[in-house]
Amino acid sequence: MSRFKIIYIASLVILGVLIAFTVFRPMAVGGEYSEVQRAQLLQREDQWIIEFDIFNHEAEDTNYTINVLIDAKQYTQSVLIRDGQMFTYIYHLYPERLTKNEVGFAVYKEGEATPIEKATYHLN
């Protein structure tokens, strides 16, 4: 019986440690991350506007690549954002230049294959 008692106590200790880590460990250790905020598609009388902000919290200056896909044609822009700074991206779309009425964008941090933000809009 003492063997099962030791296993039971050890499992309770391990469970307690795991619960303590989930409660007391901060969500973002070090605060080093990038984020895209205020991603929006605005409709005006004669155009659509894609607008979003990229925030750099990487603790160093970082290069970002913005890919905009309009009717299967890609437009790319690279930008260097200093640590702690924000960059506002604005792209104007004119209805006469659209055929499929589908627009998307993706934001990549330099050296990463997975975008930090990706969105697709279907226009009316």
Residue 7 belongs to some domain of the structure: no
The reported pTM is: 0.69
Among candidates 123, 116, 108, 114, which has minimal Cα distance to 67?
A: 108
Residue 69 belongs to some domain of the structure: yes
Distance (Å, whole) CA 93 – CA 96: 9
Per the CB < 8 A criterion, the answer to whether 71 and 86 are in contact is no
Residue 21 belongs to some domain of the structure: no
Number of domains into which the chain is organized:
1
Residue 20 belongs to some domain of the structure: no
Predicted local confidence at residue 98, as pLDDT:
83
Residue 108 belongs to some domain of the structure: yes
The enclosing domain of 50 has a CATH number of 2.60.40.10
Residue 27 belongs to some domain of the structure: no
Residues 25-50 have pLDDT tens digits of 555 455 567 888 888 888 888 899 99
Structural domain span for residue 67 = 32-122
Residue 103 belongs to some domain of the structure: yes
Predicted local confidence at residue 66, as pLDDT:
95
pLDDT at 79 over 90: yes
